[in-house]
Amino acid sequence: MDYLIKSFNEKHKNKTYHHLIIDISEEVAYLDRIKKDFYTTKYHQYIGDFLFFLKTGIEPAGIKAEGLKLFLPVINQLTGKGFDFNDDLREKLYS
């Protein structure tokens, strides 16, 4: 699954917030429709929780801050463009 997350980060690290929401929503919808193996199911959970985080700024209950750390390349570039989230979660991500 690490490969899938790394590929995801590479694909999305320079996108705007708006384009991320659209692209990830489409990818989650696609994964909702296909038959999944173990790794695809985990990837589906991770990007679904990441999408939840992007939409709400709240730590997802599923993957928590530890799982969000996998997406730091995308989160860091969004933060540089004005994306913000709560200070408690920021501390968890960067500690």
Map out the domains of the chain as residue ranges: 2-93
Tens digit of pLDDT for each residue in 15-29? 988 999 999 999 999
Alpha-carbon dihedral sign for residues 68, 81, 19, 73: negative
What are the tokens at 43? Answer: 């990837």
pTM (2 d.p.): 0.86
48 phi, psi to nearest 5 deg:
-65, -45
Classify 53 as helix, strand or coil.
helix
The Cα–Cα gap between 90 and 72 comes to 11
Tens digit of pLDDT for each residue in 50-77? 999 999 988 999 999 999 999 999 988 8
What are the tokens at 24? Answer: 């990830």
What are the tokens at 8? Answer: 């995801």
